[in-house]
Amino acid sequence: MFQATRRRLALWYTGVTAVLLLLFATGFYLYVRSTLVERIDDTLNHVVEVIQRSLVVEPIVEPVVEPVVEPVELRSQSGGQPSGQFDGQSGRQSAWRVNLDASFPSNAAAVEDDHIDLEWFNAAGNLLWSTFSAPLNIPLHPNSDGETVYGRFTPTGDEPDPLLLPYPSTFALRQVTQQVQIGDQVLGYLRVSHPWFEVTKPSRQLIRDLSLGVLLVIGAVAAIGWLLSGLAIAPVRDSYQRLKQFTADASHELRNPIAVIQTNVQVALADPDPSLQQDQLRVIERLTRRLGRLVDDLLFLARQDSGITGLQVNGIALDRLLQDVVEEQQALAADKGVTLLFQPADARLDGSDKALDTLLPSPYTIAADADQLMRLFTNLISNGIQYTASSGKVVVSLQRTKLAGGSYLQVQVQDTGVGIAAEALPHIFDRFYRADPARTSPATQHSERPVGSGLGLAIAKVIVENHHGQIQVASTLNQGTTFTVWLPCQKNVALAHPNGSSASNLHGK
């Protein structure tokens, strides 16, 4: 399932990146191609302007012949010779023409290094001069914006012209055709041509380079996508495995008491003896309480994981809270034969005058949720009592300490119980984890107290993390276990309060 999800993530990542790369490559190709075409058109138009300025235009002068008048002899009365005769001849300008010899150099000299060719047509569209060694079969289309035309040379002889060998039989040209005129008279048409392969050749090279680059990038993105999808799916896989294990453990914890309850109910119904029924009902009541605690623990963890329940933050005197928890657990410790002590660093809580002690300000005030702290230390103290044999001792201590540059309150719950194996310590705060081989002794095996569900320490860790604290455990087999909790002092933490106020202004500064 996770491999399929990983493949889908990698494919989606690669596909989206490939589409973006193709769009970028297409846009870049079109931009470069249009830039090349614009540069060629600009070059052709510039050549047209230069040629037009260099054209030598001459007027065409036609002779005008005056009518011939017969000589008239003007005779004088005396009969002498004619006094004279006149005839005349004058010129009249009729049009303009372009002097091709003066305007254009020889064909060989006209072919420039940048492969620009020139053609001159008269006003009737007949080719008069060209740098091509053979005429093109391309119609004349006056166009100053540039156009791409396809054609071939018209052969003029049987032998191939060596100047035409570089050109294929059918080729493309970029052309600009300009009409040249003076006034209303059209002198002719100037056509400037540039080989189109100057655009297609770099365009094809650019397509090859872009294709290779896109393929390489897509391959790299696919590899990176596979790696990143693996990193992204790893927490999901771990969460799924934890959820799967959690569900299996919860099902196991619920199934066993329910099966026992069902068995006891069947026995009670089958046997009409009232005394036996009372015993079965007591077992059912005990198992029901166990199920209730398990459901409460599961509900607490579920709410904490989802963030539904916030902290009810108030100013808490931690020494007094610990004193209350110790007093509540004294009955359990007495039944077990375990000595339970509370030893604050400030030994003013000796129980001699509790009324006066309640009125005095506590030096151990923190901003915290009282209910959660009660649950935290109840779990730790009851856990120590449960795994401590008769005549053992559980000591709860409280003191101020410095940790990571801040002021903290340190609470230690130390017991002289069976201890925890070193290999079990990294997992001691996992949900439903119970180090059964290390935490079982003859004293606990025969205890009437039911074995816990393995959620007490997990809940303790969640509560400590909710209060931005730390919890650690140190243990030695057959010598005892010490749980250490550090909670930041009130001035070092500002927990979210339900009504929006900060915890830093509660009961002190």
Q: Which pLDDT value is given to residue 116?
A: 84
Nearest of 445, 442, 451, 387 to residue 413 by alpha carbon: 387
Q: Residue 461 has which token pair?
A: 């860790």
Among candidate residues 200, 224, 249, the one where a domain is terminated: 200
Pairing of strands 339-344, 393-403: parallel
- Among 124-138, 152-166, 415-429, 471-485, which is the least confidently predicted range? 152-166
Q: Which pLDDT value is given to residue 338?
A: 92
Q: Which residue has the higher pLDDT, 215 or 134?
A: 215
Is residue 29, in this structure, part of any structural domain at all? Answer: yes
Is residue 284, in this structure, part of any structural domain at all? Answer: no
Q: Which pLDDT value is given to residue 6?
A: 84
Is residue 226, in this structure, part of any structural domain at all? Answer: no
- DSSP symbol at 140: -
- The Cα 341–Cα 260 span in angstroms is 37
Residue 321 and residue 192 share a domain: no
> Cα 231 to the chain's mean position, in Å?
13
Q: Hey, which of 45-59, 101-115, 272-286, 344-358 has the most confident mean pLDDT? A: 45-59
Nearest of 456, 457, 460, 453 to residue 252 by alpha carbon: 453
**The total number of residues written for the chain in this structure:** 509
Average pLDDT for 284-296 = 81
The confidence band for 321, taking pLDDT boundaries of 50, 70 and 90, is very high
The confidence band for 29, taking pLDDT boundaries of 50, 70 and 90, is very high
- The Cα 275–Cα 280 span in angstroms is 9
Average pLDDT for 374-387 = 90
Q: Which residue has the higher pLDDT, 272 or 372?
A: 372
- The Cα 305–Cα 431 span in angstroms is 13
Residue 320 and residue 469 share a domain: yes
Give the CATH number, domain containing residue 183. 3.30.450
User: Residue 435 is which amino acid?
Assistant: A
Q: For residue 124, is pLDDT > 60? A: yes
Q: Which pLDDT value is given to residue 296?
A: 80
Mean pLDDT over all residues of the chain?
Answer: 76
Among candidate residues 200, 220, 250, the one where a domain is terminated: 200
Q: For residue 483, is pLDDT > 90? A: yes
Among candidate residues 166, 185, 200, the one where a domain is terminated: 200
Contact 394, 338 (CB under 8 A): yes
Q: Which pLDDT value is given to residue 66?
A: 54
Residue 445 and residue 315 share a domain: yes
Contact 120, 128 (CB under 8 A): yes
- The Cα 136–Cα 154 span in angstroms is 6
Alpha-carbon distances, residue 63 vs 76, 90, 191 (angstroms): 36, 6, 34
Domain range enclosing 441 = 310-505
DSSP 91-120: EEEEEEEE-HHHHS--HHHH--TT--EEEE
How many distinct structural domains can be found in the chain? Answer: 2
Is residue 38, in this structure, part of any structural domain at all? Answer: yes
- Among 61-70, 265-274, 277-286, 455-464, which is the least confidently predicted range? 61-70
Q: Which pLDDT value is given to residue 82?
A: 39
Contact 174, 117 (CB under 8 A): no
Is residue 64, in this structure, part of any structural domain at all? Answer: no
Is residue 255, in this structure, part of any structural domain at all? Answer: no
Is residue 423, in this structure, part of any structural domain at all? Answer: yes
Q: For residue 204, is pLDDT > 50? A: yes
Tell me what percent of the residues of the chain surpass a pLDDT of 90.
18
Is residue 277, in this structure, part of any structural domain at all? Answer: no
Residues 357, 361, 364, 365, CA torsion sign: positive
Residue 275 CB-half CA count within 13 A: 0
Give the CATH number, domain containing residue 381. 3.30.565.10
Q: Which pLDDT value is given to residue 492?
A: 45
* pTM of the model as a whole: 0.50
Q: Which residue has the higher pLDDT, 375 or 451?
A: 375
- The Cα 102–Cα 147 span in angstroms is 29
